Amino acid sequence: MLELKKVCKTFFPNTPNERKALIDIDLKLEKGDFVTIIGGNGAGKSTLFNSIAGSFLIDSGNIILDGQNITFLKDYQRARSIGRLHQDPLKGTAPNMTIEENLAMAYLRGVKKGFSFGIGQKDRDYFRDRLAALGLGLEDRLKTKMGLLSGGQRQAVTLMMATIATPKLLLLDEHTAALDPATAEKVAELTQEIVAKDHITTMMITHNMQQSLTCGNRTIMMDEGRIILDIRGDERKKLTVPDLLKMFREHSQKEFDNDRMMLS
């Protein structure tokens, strides 16, 4: 489904500020994989997502999605197949447009030519049904502007926008980190339900180490632009957070360093 081959990215090359953000990244995801990604400060997690989403071109290597080489596609071209949520609930939506208008824009990504932006009753009923599944009462607020929603409500709608036209790949960039604990837990539960229901291939950066072991079916740890751990199957099921920290020390020869990381 997704394959990265020897992907490299260096910022500010040949300057005193040169930083190798990704170094020979090899990664392969099968359809339906749900991979959690953890790492210390500057490990390359967000750079990895930006490379896949097309925020910038990589220096070398190839990115293959569902058999198509997307290495040189623009970000808006990749967005037809890739859904993404950011840490900031304000990103990815139009605050002065209503919930239904935002959903309609997202829905256009997966609909063939002939679908106009005009929102008919059939579309409105579909949006209402999808929102009802969130359990937040938003199905009765279709005419509410996005900017008036709370952070958790907005992130839940953004999650719906990213998946309303089922993407080939879903990128979750610490999408619960800016929410209060109760809301973060709710959004995390919704995420797992939607991903499981539609069998969406998913990558999720998380600052919660316990969550990295309980969500999905695979855990990747990054350090200094490299993937140093890739854990799945029975090995992953037996792991605890202390085990994970010990493995990091053994593979990186240093202590795990991330001042935002939740260890439990």
Instruction: Tell whether 88 is covered by a domain.
Output: no
Candidates 164, 160, 172, 169; CA nearest to 108 is 164
pLDDT exceeds 80 at position 96 = yes
CB contact at 8 A, 176 and 184: yes
Q: What pLDDT band is residue 114 in, cutting at 50, 70 and 90?
A: very low
- pTM beyond 0.75: yes
Domain span holding position 45: 1-81+206-264
Instruction: Tell whether 177 is covered by a domain.
Output: no
The total domain count for the chain is 1
* Lowest mean pLDDT segment, chosen from 85-94, 199-208, 230-239: 85-94
pLDDT exceeds 80 at position 234 = yes
pLDDT exceeds 60 at position 213 = yes
CA distance 82 to 24: 23
The mean per-residue pLDDT over the stretch 204-232 comes to 94
Q: State residue 113's pLDDT score.
A: 46
Burial of residue 189, with CB atoms counted within 10 A of its CB: 0-12 exposed, 13-18 middle, 19 or more buried: exposed
The mean per-residue pLDDT over the stretch 9-16 comes to 95
Instruction: Tell whether 52 is covered by a domain.
Output: yes
CATH number reported for the structural domain that contains residue 7 in this entry: 3.40.50.300
Q: State residue 149's pLDDT score.
A: 92
Instruction: Tell whether 157 is covered by a domain.
Output: no
Q: What pLDDT band is residue 22 in, cutting at 50, 70 and 90?
A: very high
* Lowest mean pLDDT segment, chosen from 44-48, 156-160, 224-228: 156-160
pLDDT exceeds 90 at position 259 = no
Q: State residue 257's pLDDT score.
A: 67
Angle at 248 between CA 243 and CA 252, to 5 degrees: 155
Q: What pLDDT band is residue 111 in, cutting at 50, 70 and 90?
A: low
CA distance 120 to 126: 10
User: Please, what's the b/e burial string for 126-138 (b: 16 or more CB within 10 A of its CB; e: otherwise)?
Assistant: ebbebbeebebeb
SS3 118: coil
Instruction: Tell whether 152 is covered by a domain.
Output: no
What would the pLDDT profile of 137-183 be if each residue is shown by its tens digit?
899 999 999 999 998 899 989 998 999 889 999 999 999 888 888 88
CA distance 154 to 213: 26
The mean per-residue pLDDT over the stretch 245-253 comes to 87
Instruction: Tell whether 176 is covered by a domain.
Output: no
Q: State residue 115's pLDDT score.
A: 47
* Lowest mean pLDDT segment, chosen from 81-85, 100-104, 250-254: 250-254
pLDDT exceeds 90 at position 260 = no
- Residue labelled with tokens 């209503």: 98
CA distance 94 to 203: 24
CB contact at 8 A, 78 and 53: yes
CA distance 149 to 98: 10
Instruction: Tell whether 70 is covered by a domain.
Output: yes
Q: What is the mean pLDDT of the chain?
A: 89
Task: For 134-177, give the DSSP string.
Answer: TTSSGGG-TTSBGGGS-HHHHHHHHHHHHHSS--SEEEEESTTT
